[in-house]
Structure 1
Amino acid sequence: MTKTNPGNFFEDFTVGQVLEHATPRTVTEGDRALYGAIYPTRFAVPSSAEFAASVGLTRAPVEDLIAFHIAFGKTVPDVSLNAVANLGYAECRFHRPVVPGDTLRTRSEVIGLKQNSNGRTGVVYVRSTATNQRGEVALDWARWVMVHKRDAEAPAPETVVPDLASVVPPEELIVPDGLDFSAYDFAAAGEPHRWGDYEIGEKIDHVDGVTLTDPEHMLATRLWQNTAKVHFNVEARPDGTRLVYGGHVISMARALSFNGLANAQLIAAINAGAHVAPALAGDTIYAWSEVLDTAETTAPGVGALRLRLVATKGRDETTTLRGEDGKYAAGVLLDLDYWALVPQ
């Protein structure tokens, strides 16, 4: 009898199934340092304990996406070890900042299944929740992933596609306890732009680009204990390439967005996200953002911007997203819709 885990295939999932994911993971200052070594991030709140204290946070949190990647990585052995690709996200809310010393563990519930027409793969929808060592929710999200079938002849399950919200309502955004931007240090943060300086429909070209390499994306993916075969094993894909983890592209684009959105300090929610095309080593990533909405919060000096963050392979001078046919423009890798907290 084998003792190894081959991962779940599409026919192993049932709607309502609850998966308790193994290996709780303690966040350390090393995670902060490695994240900064991999991505060109410079946001002041996670970079400076002094700055974090000046805006009312008793401890400097790590980047929001560190918590996301760690929590996401826990789900891979049970949800997406046999994935073709991760397809999208919805209804992701960051409930509280994660600080070094916090231990995260994740559980998921299967909320939908849909076999593809080819009969060889299917889409699995899950809702995942990450809690800390006190049992408090750190973040939760829904995602859907295309997974191989073990047996193409296995009968298709009843199709269940969950109804997921297109946006987290601004009144449901969770502002960290004590956050106060009323005495915000714009000089230390790096840019003077306030919440009121951004207009709905405005597009911001983040200018800089970063070329992906295999060592960096594999290091990042191992850091989050993400074991998906397609990221490491050149025999896992027909073309013999390693697929770059979609979260690596998210973090790279988020880091690049500092240029123009340096004061978008904290991610409050991810409304939707789509990995439009695969990224591979050698691709050069650029990013641009569009302001989709603005909202006020009850926290002193804190506003929220709803932003569309787009990552492209190669530079997109026109900052276009879709062509006249409604299809994504060539070279678009990521389309991410999120709320960020900014000073008013």
Structure 2
Amino acid sequence: MKTNPGRFFEDYRMGEVIAHAVPRTISGGERAIYHALYPARGALHSSDAFAQACGLKASPMDDLITFHTVFGKTVPDISLNAVANLGYAEGRWLEPVWPGDTLTATSEVIGLKENSSGTTGVVWVRTTGRNQHGVPVLTYVRWVMVKKRGTAPTGAATAPVLSPVVAPLDLVVPPGLDFTRHDFTLSGEPHRWGDHAPGEVIDHVDGVTIEEAEHMLATRLWQNTAKVHFDTTQRPDGKRLIYGGHVISLARALSFNGLANAHLIVALNGGAHVNPCFAGDTVRAWSEVLERAETSSPGVGALRLRLVATRGAPGVLRDASGKYEASVLLDLDYWALIPL
């Protein structure tokens, strides 16, 4: 058999390291399409001149371009037969990605747990993306519910213990980054690190209705081949599930209105795709400031933020019983760098 039907739960082994195909050279084309797909307009990722004034050699690729590219490499081996992508943890951006860099990815299986239904199981992997020099640019853990091939019990019952938050001391600030001469007029907002207090909730105001064509284009752009995003026969309702990363990028781009100066994502503490998203949904976003931390880089502070994508009202997350509201699509906890 020459074709690849994808892995099922029984095909994974604890400690296995999977080298993913295919290397991907990133160019300005990815940035242009990314900015066309989402209302992304952060100054540091839009302008070489602005980035150079902040101590960088040029404008780096958007952080989520790196994430999507690395993530897409893993899909044929990790989530081609996934029922759902469940969550993320311990994510760190380790090195900027520049136009012309070539990215590859490997994943280590760190957890396997069969579900009580006997038809699916959860696979945990730690994925690392590297550039053409073999230098890690991104690492994260994700866990996926995967279909089983058969009905025989596997006995798999190992779930990893994961850190709930990336410690501020473990955040990697790009070498040379200096916000002491940050131009708040050009960035679009005056708000800096000290203007954001833990507990503050920011309504990002705008909404975007997702079209079938754009999410299909985005998923293909990142070479994500998961069947549930393309094949209407994969779900009983006949709908194509929106790639969760599409929702992440859309919410992050919407957060510009209120967090324009939270320029760089440097860590992903945790995240969950809470409810499915489909074409026709109108997505809005709000953020909660969870924590502040200083860094050793000049003029650079860090904000820990909760980013929520929703079909509903801002600030609404869980019901009286503690369950996520049906309108909530994404609950993401991350660190971003912002001028002091």
After TM superposition, the score normalised by the length of structure 2 is 0.99
Q: Secondary structure at the match of 2:258?
A: helix
List aligned pairs for 1:136-155, cutoff 5 A: 136-152=135-151, 154-155=152-153
1:46 corresponds in structure 2 to 45
Contact 2:90/2:140, CA 8 A, preserved across alignment: yes
> What's the CA shift for 1:292?
0.2
1:14 corresponds in structure 2 to 13
For residues 95 and 58 of structure 2, the distance between their equivalents in structure 1, rounded to whole angstroms, comes to 12
> What's the CA shift for 1:52?
0.5
2:327 corresponds in structure 1 to 331
Contact 1:130/1:140, CA 8 A, preserved across alignment: yes
Q: Secondary structure at the match of 2:252?
A: helix
Runs (4+) of structure 1 exceeding 3 A deviation are none
> What is the percentage of aligned positions where both structures have the same residue?
65
1:245 corresponds in structure 2 to 243
For residues 243 and 295 of structure 1, the distance between their equivalents in structure 2, rounded to whole angstroms, comes to 37
**Any unmatched runs of 5+ in structure 1?**
none
Q: Deviations over 1:193-239 (max 9, x none)?
A: 01000000000000000000111001000000000010011111111
> What's the CA shift for 1:155?
2.2
Contact 1:113/1:157, CA 8 A, preserved across alignment: no
For residues 25 and 98 of structure 1, the distance between their equivalents in structure 2, rounded to whole angstroms, comes to 12
In the alignment, residue 263 of structure 1 is paired with which amino acid? Answer: N
Contact 1:27/1:100, CA 8 A, preserved across alignment: yes
Q: Secondary structure at the match of 1:240?
A: coil
1:311 aligns with 2:313: no
List aligned pairs for 1:190-229, cutoff 5 A: 190-229=188-227
Contact 1:268/1:340, CA 8 A, preserved across alignment: yes
Contact 2:275/2:326, CA 8 A, preserved across alignment: no
For residues 233 and 6 of structure 1, the distance between their equivalents in structure 2, rounded to whole angstroms, comes to 14
For residues 295 and 180 of structure 1, the distance between their equivalents in structure 2, rounded to whole angstroms, comes to 16
In the alignment, residue 4 of structure 2 is paired with which amino acid? Answer: N
Q: Deviations over 1:81-100 (max 9, x none)?
A: 00001000000000011111
1:343 corresponds in structure 2 to 339
1:28 aligns with 2:27: yes
2:272 corresponds in structure 1 to 274
Q: Deviations over 1:221-259 (max 9, x none)?
A: 000000001001111111110000000000000000000
Q: Deviations over 1:26-69 (max 9, x none)?
A: 10100000000000011000111110100001021011000000
In the alignment, residue 18 of structure 1 is paired with which amino acid? Answer: V
- CA-atom RMSD, angstroms? 0.7
For residues 156 and 218 of structure 2, the distance between their equivalents in structure 1, rounded to whole angstroms, comes to 37
1:235 corresponds in structure 2 to 233
For residues 167 and 231 of structure 1, the distance between their equivalents in structure 2, rounded to whole angstroms, comes to 30
1:257 aligns with 2:255: yes
In the alignment, residue 325 of structure 2 is paired with which amino acid? Answer: A
Q: Secondary structure at the match of 1:144?
A: strand
For residues 142 and 330 of structure 1, the distance between their equivalents in structure 2, rounded to whole angstroms, comes to 26
1:186 corresponds in structure 2 to 184
Q: Deviations over 1:99-138 (max 9, x none)?
A: 1100000000000011111100010000000000001000
Contact 2:91/2:269, CA 8 A, preserved across alignment: yes
